[in-house]
Amino acid sequence: MKIFIAVSRRYARSLIEAISSLKPKPYVVVMSYDDDVEILARSMGFEFMKIKDIEKIYTYEKLEEFDVAIAALDDDVMNVACIRIAKSMGIPIAMSLIHNEMNKDSLIREGVQSILNLNNFIAENIKFVLMSDVWITIEIVPMYRIVAALHKLVKRSVLGLDLKVLKEAIDIRDVSVFAIDSAGRFIGEDRVLESGDIIIVIGTKDKVLKTVTDIEKIFRRYEQIYSIRYSDIQRIGYG
């Protein structure tokens, strides 16, 4: 994965550290007009571009090879301009920080798929959008250790699991477990989980982590069954 980031000093640390934690490590180019951002980016092993004018992004010839563009600059006008350039260069996934909700429509018109609000968990949102089939944990009420664990299904959607199977196999007395589809609608327990669906577990940190471990055991068991069935089909097909 190749990620292009336009970021100001204010948001650089949380954003760059979130990107650096992705596995496998992506190829990243960071653009900024702040010297401090350059030091941070290079310390993480990322390529850096220093420019004073957003339009200079056009001079980066390899931009059209990137998969993701993220704009996290100090005002929405600059973010909109950055996303417009990125989309004109054919970058498929665009994410942007938003300072004023009134500018949301402008970002959407430019092709932004994910908008990061200052009041939300910026780093966790970025990781969640870019990572699939892994768990992301977000603190909701730190004082009481209340967290939410989210799991976005992609490859695991072929397993044929539904929410009812998961709930029957785990202890849900101290946690809330539910799922939503890619449009944010709640999913019925009997509906088979599909690609893009999100499993959400909410509760105290220790209970949530235990529940996640239990769900992972179910996933692994179904993955083994799926692997055996797939091998049998291949053997019969080529036998």
DSSP type of residue 135: E
Report the alpha-carbon distance of residue 48 to residue 30 in Å, rounded: 5
DSSP type of residue 45: T
| CATH class of the domain whose range is 135-238 | alpha beta
CA angle 186, 190, 196 (to 5 degrees): 50
Q: Which pLDDT does position 121 carry in this prediction?
A: 47
| Per-domain residue ranges of the chain | 2-130, 135-238
Beta bridge partners of 148: 138, 202
Taking the alpha carbons of 60, 66, 72, 76 in that order, is the dihedral positive or negative? positive
Q: 0.85 cut: is pTM over it?
A: no
Residue with tokens 């596995």: 23
Which stretches of the chain score pLDDT less than 70?
117-131, 142, 158, 230-239
The per-residue pLDDT for range 26-62, each reduced to its tens digit, is 899 999 988 899 999 999 999 998 887 777 787 777 8
Rounded CA Rg of the chain: 20
Alpha-carbon dihedral angle through residues 35, 37, 39, 40, given to the nearest 10 degrees: 170
CATH of span 2-130: 3.40.50.720
Report the alpha-carbon distance of residue 52 to residue 192 in Å, rounded: 50
Which long-range CB contacts under 8 A does 9-13 form with residues at least 24 apart? 9/34, 9/36, 9/37, 10/74, 11/72, 11/97, 11/122, 12/36, 12/37, 12/40, 12/41, 12/72, 13/40
